[in-house]
Amino acid sequence: MGKEVAGSGCTADDFERFRRRLEEETRHAQAAYYRGAFANDALVAGFELEAWLIGGDLLPVPRNVSFLARLDSPLVVPELSRFNVELNGTAQPLNGAALSRLESELTATWQRCQRVAAADDTALIAIGTLPTLREDDLSLSNMSPARRYAVLNEQIFRLRGGSPLSLNIAGIDHLATTHTDVMLEAATTSFQVHLQVPAGEATRAYNAAQILAAPLVALSANSPFLFGRALWHETRVPLFEQAVDCCDPGCPQHMRVTFGSGYLTTDPTACFAENLASYAVLLPFEIPGPIESYAHLRLHNGTIWRWNRMLIGFDDGGQPHLRIELRVMPAGPSIIDMMANAAFYYGSVFMLTRQTLAPEAQISFAQARENFYLAARYGLDAQLLWFGGQRVSAGELLEQQLLPLARTGLEHLDLSTADVARYLEVIAGRLRNRRNGAAWQLAHHARHHDFARLTADYLDHQRQLMPVHEWPI
């Protein structure tokens, strides 16, 4: 979805040509995997961070076009709305000081963004859902001008027969509304963590990421408010799922935003075959290039937002690789919090991938999925069903079992001892205080009852680069 699309229309012939090429590339990818053509070497880490542009009134400001032109950085690109942008990091082999290098680059990019934004009386803020967001902000007039977004909107509503989207979220409060375009998606911003894995480990690593989704969303939850209502601790989850809903109501496992339909078995490219078989093409644009570029497969995959998504990429020498895009964690609260979350994930997924008894043999997919939604709704207080049939709160599970596991994994990866200690102490502090971003926001609002003040205080603390468990209320 990050690449612009060309073409002048969406005719039946466009769909047919795209479908034929998609079928060819899907078969080619599967054959390439079985003949060992995908990279089978070291782990590589990366990320994408979505952020908001806001003004002095703490409301979203739809000026990303002029902001990006003034910034002029290949690491910062547009998002669906004119008040969102995406910051990217340079991928790093997962060893040595990789994590602190990622953090240093993100901090430098973030601070440069803030300087450029300030020159236009705006600021950047990283937060899952913006507390001051109004439903009227989510209109087509605020959609970024890239053609792919307009076509995406058109095609989703074509599949819906023109019927409006229904948003219905029951949480602490209840929100029910309808919307006539896909701009609801712009209310959900995330910190997407990437992990390139050896092809032979991709299935196990993907399944481990699915199992870890619940504790990770509990650890990182930062989206409790939408349109003035307190909903889930990670409201971004039900919001995103309902924001682009164009599936058959009788087949919820094939929603465009989904936890998925099951674990992978042996072939990690099976998810691309499922994309072909189960999802309508939304962007039917022919892309020049050889079949082994997988351009149509990658474009189609970009319109299916699994909470954990398998991607195909290429190294500098042109060899294809597989990487897992972890999409469950929201943006914010601070850069150190996000990098600590990434470190925790890298260490814990490394260990689960290498357990003698596969984790997916110890917890059913249905239970992993149920855990995910419980964690999104209740955060660190969610009661999760874990290995051995134990029912345990997410906070206790993270503190007593997964944090030591992550530490062992990071040590085995031969990452900087100082980095491991620094990032995991942030996680430990958050768990000791039982305060993630959602808990801080809920506590702040309970005391002050003011979304503008909440946003102002949040932005001030974020600018100081402090971890959220140290933020005053």
pTM given for the model: 0.96
The residues, any chain, with a CB within 8 Å of residue 400's CB and separated by 6 or more, are: none
Question: What pLDDT is stored for residue 9 in this prediction?
Answer: 63
Residue 42 pLDDT exceeds 90: no
* Number of Cβ atoms within 10 Å of the Cβ of 42: 12
Closest CA to 395 of 223, 267, 214, 235: 214
Closest CA to 60 of 111, 153, 129: 129
Reported as a pLDDT band with limits 50, 70 and 90, residue 348 is very high
CA distance 182 to 253: 20
Mean pLDDT calculated for residue range 200-220: 98
Reported as a pLDDT band with limits 50, 70 and 90, residue 4 is very low
Question: What pLDDT is stored for residue 62 in this prediction?
Answer: 98
Residue 181 · residue 140 · CB < 8 Å:
yes
Residue 1 pLDDT exceeds 60: no
CA distance 351 to 366: 22
Q: Identify the bridge partners of residue 258 per DSSP, sorted by sequence position.
A: 306
CA distance 101 to 155: 40
- State percent of the chain over pLDDT 70: 97
Quick: pLDDT tens for 223-258: 999 999 999 999 999 999 999 987 655 555 579 999
Question: What pLDDT is stored for residue 247 in this prediction?
Answer: 63
CA distance 111 to 245: 36
* Number of Cβ atoms within 10 Å of the Cβ of 236: 29
Mean pLDDT calculated for residue range 119-125: 97
Residue 280 pLDDT exceeds 60: yes
- For residue 284, what are its two tokens? 């039917």
The residues, any chain, with a CB within 8 Å of residue 310's CB and separated by 6 or more, are: 202, 206, 268, 269, 271, 272, 301, 322, 323, 324, 325
Reported as a pLDDT band with limits 50, 70 and 90, residue 10 is confident
How many Å is the maximal CA-CA distance in the chain? 61
Q: Could you report how far apart the first and last alpha carbons of the chain are, in Å?
A: 38
Could you identify the residue written with the tokens 């993907």?
206
Which stretches of 160-251 are assigned E, i.e. beta strand?
Answer: 165-170, 174-179, 191-197, 225-226, 229-230
Mean pLDDT of the chain: 95
Residue 322 pLDDT exceeds 80: yes
Helix 236-243 to helix 365-378 angle (10° resolution) is 110
Could you identify the residue written with the tokens 């690109």?
77
CA distance 391 to 393: 7
Closest CA to 166 of 154, 175, 158: 175
The residues, any chain, with a CB within 8 Å of residue 402's CB and separated by 6 or more, are: 212, 215, 344, 348
Quick: pLDDT tens for 388-430: 999 999 999 999 999 999 999 999 999 999 999 999 999 999 9
Task: Express the helix, strand and coil content of the chain in percent, nearest 5 each.
Answer: 50, 15, 35
Lowest mean pLDDT among 166-175, 249-258, 371-380, 456-465: 249-258
Domains of the chain: 12-467 (3.30.590.20)
Quick: pLDDT tens for 59-114: 999 999 999 999 999 999 999 999 999 999 999 999 999 999 999 999 999 999 99
Residue 253 · residue 278 · CB < 8 Å:
no
Residue 64 · residue 113 · CB < 8 Å:
no
User: Beta 257-258 vs 305-306: how paired, if at all?
Assistant: parallel
Mean pLDDT calculated for residue range 136-160: 94
The residues, any chain, with a CB within 8 Å of residue 450's CB and separated by 6 or more, are: none
Question: Residue 197: what are its φ and ψ, rounded to 5°?
Answer: -125, 155
| Element at 391 (helix H, strand E) | strand 391-393
Residue 299 pLDDT exceeds 90: yes
Residue 315 pLDDT exceeds 60: yes
DSSP secondary structure letters along 417-432: HHHHHHHHHHHHHHHH
Which stretches of 34-173 are assigned E, i.e. beta strand?
Answer: 44-55, 76-78, 84-88, 92-93, 122-125, 165-170
